[in-house]
Amino acid sequence: MPLPHWTKEGFLPSGRLPADLADIYERLVFDAPHQNEREILFSALNSYLGAVAKIIPAGRAWIGGEFIARTQLVPNGLDVVLLPEDWGSLKRMTGPVRDSLYGLLTLRGVIIGQPAMYLDQVQPVGGLLDGFLCFPGDEEIWAQTWSGNGKRGFPEVGW
């Protein structure tokens, strides 16, 4: 189902809007200004969701950030919140698989060693997007954040 047309304010109509990557491309890249920059962000999103699907067996992703607004400002990034279908499988992850999952999430206040460094934020896909994990019971908080308290809509992609 294609994403609905933009509102006069340059947002998608309110609510969670089921979409696939072709729908997202059509509305958020092809039908928006700054297509070259949006192409890069879309490629990051496509790669990111592919990597997520290899680690998390099934779930949904909500897409947000500057990328989902149709304004004259150049979008600098996009946000993705992941809603895994089976939390038990995430809790059972160990070793390299768990490390790969952490590599897909935005981390704040990170300290690394040898040489010791403090980083304000570490982002996946070269900093083109922020990836977050929605814990069970927090869906409404994320929905309110992504919708700007009901003022705009956001795409929801499943895998």
pLDDT per position as a tens digit, 71-127: 999 999 999 999 999 999 988 999 999 989 989 999 876 577 777 776 676 788 888
Q: Note down the domain range covering 64.
A: 16-158
Mean pLDDT of 122-134: 89
Please indicate, yes or no, if residue 98 is contained in any of the structural domains.
yes
Q: How much of the chain is in helix, strand and coil states, percent to nearest 5?
A: 35, 25, 40
pLDDT of residue 119: 61
Domain annotation covers residue 3 = no
- Tell me whether residue 1 is in a domain: no
Burial of 29 (0-12, 13-18, 19+ CB in 10 A): buried
Task: Give the residue-averaged pLDDT of 55-84.
Answer: 96
The pLDDT score that the predictor gives to residue 120 is: 74
In a domain, 43, yes or no: yes
Q: What integer pLDDT is reported at residue 113 of this predicted model? A: 73
Residue 124 located in a structural domain? yes
Question: What is the per-residue DSSP string for 87-124?
Answer: HHHHHT--HHHHHHHHHTS-EEEEEETTTTEEEEEE-S
**Could you report the per-residue pLDDT of 28-46, keeping only the tens digit for each?**
999 999 999 999 999 999 9
Number of domains comprising the chain: 1
Please report whether residue 5 resides in a domain. Answer: no
Of residues 116 and 58, the one with the higher pLDDT is 58
* pLDDT over threshold 70, residue 56: yes
